[in-house]
Copies of this chain bind each other. A is one copy, B any other.
Amino acid sequence: MTDRVVPEPQRRRRRPTKQGVVLSAELIVDTALRLIGQHGADALTVRRLGAALGADPSAVYRYFHSTDDLLIAIADELIGRAQHGWQSTGDWRADLRAIGLRIHSAYQAHPQAALLAAHRTTGRAHETAAVETILGILRTAGFPDPEAVRIYHAFVDQSLGFAALDAAALALPAPAAAADLGVWQASYARLDATTHPHIAATAGLLTRDMRRSGYPYALDLLLDAAEARLRTAEPGQAEPGQDG
């Protein structure tokens, strides 16, 4: 078998399955996302996907070379959903903050998929568009190229890293998630002040803070530091002028 996949734009013969479903790459990606959302990341197997589609499992291989190929498509779809409807304000810091929070929450909306997709580089349209946007914001703000690239890298990986971490927490089975949170009450809140003085002194603050995501605060720290470096790099520069 050389290649059983026909590129989407060249597809002509849309032949329904036995159960009357007309397949497409888009339908398969949407169904996979729905499957993952309803029954967890473990639910995404080719056989179950086939059943959910109303088709033979191997039909999926007419649209994707492998499950990894399918995952890349899912990842790119998530990136696309994160950018959908975003508009620049002209303020680089506000823009980056908004994009970071959007990426984070788009992945939170599909925790199990995020878990599988957050760490892949797709190189597809939605991803390149996001990269172009973020790099553009940094370069327009006045960061020299080497620094812009480093900050881009840190910013994106921070967003994806927190997204994956927080998604993993959401993706846990209910009892395990409850147990994980309970550890802060059951274990940390009861540690002896003589062996763990710093935990004991901040137990109340800890149990409250660990319930939320640490991402928004970490994002602000990163933007703080970036802003400070921008002022160092261009000391005589005022607010950047309008470019539109």
Contact = CB atoms under 8 A, between A and B. Distances in A.
A86 B176 CA distance: 31
B121 A184 contact: yes
A75 to B, nearest CB: 11
Contact of A153 (B68, B198, B209): B209
Interface string A28-49: 0000000000000000000000
A123 B215 CA distance: 22
Question: So how many copies of this chain end up in the complex?
Answer: 2
A128 B206 CA distance: 12
Main secondary structure of the interface of A (DSSP, over half): helix
Contacts of A128: 187-188, 191, 196, 199
Select the residue from A119, A213, A221 with max chain B CB neighbours within 10 A.
A221
Contacts of A215: 157
Contacts of A153: 209-210, 214, 217
A17 interface: no
A120 B165 CA distance: 9
Contacts of A146: 205
A169 to B, nearest CB: 6
A116 B42 CA distance: 14
B221 A154 contact: yes
A18 B184 CA distance: 41
A148 interface: yes
Given A135-B198, A154-B221, A206-B149, A121 B180 contact: yes
Interface stretch (A50-58, A88-96, A223-231): A223-231
A117 B205 CA distance: 25
Contacts of A201: 139, 145
Given A145-B201, A198-B132, A221 B226 contact: yes
Question: Which of A158, A180, A186, A226 counts the most chain B CB atoms within 10 A?
Answer: A158
Given A121-B180, A123-B184, A131-B199, 15 more contacts: A68-B176, A121-B181, A121-B210, A128-B199, A132-B198, A135-B202, A145-B202, A145-B205, A149-B206, A153-B210, A154-B214, A160-B161, A161-B164, A164-B168, A221-B226
